[in-house]
Amino acid sequence: MRSLMLFKLMIDLFFYGSIMSVLVTLGFGISTDSFNIGGQRFDDLNPTIITFMIFTLLRPITFFIAVYHIKQLASSFIKGEIFSDPTSRNLKMIGYGFILYSVVESIGEYLNSIVNNIGDTIMSGNFMGFNSAWFQFTLGLLFVFMDRIFQNAKALEQENELTI
Amino acid sequence: MKSTNLLNVLINVFYYIILNAGLVITGMLIYAGIFDDRVGISVGRSSFGIVDREFASALSPKDYGKVIIAICIVILFIKTIYHLRKATLKMIKGEMFDQVVSENLKWTGISMILYKVSSLIGNLYSEVLYQNQFTVGFDFGGFESFIFILILGLFFILLSNVIKNGITLKSENDLTI
């Protein structure tokens, strides 16, 4: 129970800390007289830069979806609702969040290479480390799959209760 | 079913790619550490890069520390994916509430945490010994941030406990039948 509380504390700290850091970054970006993405300034706006901006904004949003559902899942576990509908729904949403994040990040990286003329970076062989899109996509699929396991366990639990 | 097959293919391809890449990188690092013949391989000094395209200068004692940390990081990453793959393949086979799944999920979490701790030590090592600086702070930079990987690692350990719970449920159910 203590480790669960620690886990919940960490996820809460990370969730609110990330939101604050994104808001501060966006605040700095908006306050400057030209458009600013991650410290990079753009004076003229063309469709590629606008798409790049959209994907840069989508990246933290998809990440927050996943982190928010991990937070919800931790709350369910603390309440003792282990094999329940909200738990499996949260697992599925974490999975979709990770999948979306990996797709958005890959497209964002590709657009970044076009905007900054740094050559083609899509699938550039970044496999080592948890930042690789491949790992994030696989992890996402695993969480979606885990939703089924939890539904299975829920059915088992109900059967058990009925027998008793 | 399609997503299960895709997961199966992805985890296998990813595992074998990183295993091969890991072997090549570890081999190069060991080669650099043992032979140190100033040909082609050097330890990146300013960043935590391990292979440099420039001709290498002789390795100093502090470079050896960095080589050892880099090898540990590669091994821990491969270990993480190895355990994740083992658990996933067992789950795909339909054996969800199994001791093997629970053990492998636990080791995935532990390896993930150890990987991140060693990469943090590596970064601090580089900063202190090569740049004479020391930075402390929270990193909220997405997937690779220390705190997020720590959370993910703890989450896998928690999931392994949940699977253990499921094993008990299943055995109770089987006994009743």
Angstrom CA distances, B100 to A82, B113, B155, B156, B177, stand at 20, 20, 17, 14, 24
Whether ipTM tops 0.95, in short, is no
Question: In this structure, what are the phi and psi dihedrals at residue A37, rounded to the nearest 5 degrees?
Answer: -125, 115
CA-to-CA distance for B140 and A26, rounded, in angstroms? 15
For residue A40, give the 3-state DSSP assignment: strand
And the tokens for A27? 């605040």
Alpha-helix residue ranges (DSSP H) falling in chain A: 2-31, 47-79, 85-115, 133-163
Domain annotation covers residue A14: no
**What range defines the domain where residue B130 resides?**
2-176
| B143: chain A residues, CB-CB within 8 Å | 63, 101, 130-131, 136
The answer to whether the CB atoms of B169 and A70 lie below 8 A apart is: no
Between residues B82 and A3, the one the model is more confident about:
B82
Residue A132 lies in a domain: yes
Look at A144 and B166 and tell me if their CB atoms are within 8 Å. no
Give SS3 for A42: strand
> Given a cut of 90, is residue A26 above it in pLDDT?
no
How far apart are the C-alpha atoms of A121 and B69, rounded to whole Å? Answer: 27
How many folded domains does chain B comprise? 1
Name the residue type at position B91: M
- Which A residues, 87 through 116, put their C-beta within 8 Å of a C-beta on chain B? 101
Q: Which residues of chain B does A134 touch, with a Cβ-Cβ cutoff of 8 Å? A: 10, 14
Domain contains A145: yes
pLDDT tens figures, B104-144: 999 999 999 999 899 888 888 888 877 777 776 666 667 77
| A58 contacts chain B (CB < 8 A) | no
- The answer to the question of residue A123 being in a domain is yes
Q: Name the residue range of residue A88's domain.
A: 45-154
Query: What digits encode the pLDDT tens for the residues A32-46?
Result: 555 555 556 666 667
Residue A35 per-residue DSSP state: E
Residue A75 within a domain: yes
Report the domain count for chain A: 1
Helix (H) or strand (E) holding A37: strand A35-37
Are residues A111 and A42 in contact, defined by beta-carbon separation less than 8 angstroms? no
**Is residue A25, in this structure, part of any structural domain at all?**
no
The pLDDT tens digits for B20-42 are 877 877 777 676 666 655 544 44
| Cβ partners under 8 Å of residue A34, min gap 6 | A41, A42, A43
Rounded Cα distance, A78 and A88, in Å: 15
Q: In this complex, is the C-beta atom of A69 within 8 Å of any C-beta atom belonging to chain B?
A: no
Q: Does A136 touch chain B (CB under 8 A)?
A: yes
Predicted local confidence at residue B55, as pLDDT: 42
Q: How far apart are CA A76 and CA A87, in angstroms?
A: 7
A142–B contact, CB cutoff 8 A: yes
Q: Which residues of B touch A137 (CB under 8 A)?
A: 10
Chain A CB contacts of B148 under 8 Å are 14, 67
Phi, psi (degrees; rounded to nearest 5) at B77: -65, -45
Helix (H) or strand (E) holding B4: helix B2-35
Q: Return the SS3 of B163.
A: helix
| Dist. CA B75–CA B37, nearest whole Å | 25
User: Is B144 close to A130, i.e. CB distance below 8 A?
Assistant: yes
Query: CA B46, CA B51: separation in Å to the nearest integer?
Result: 12
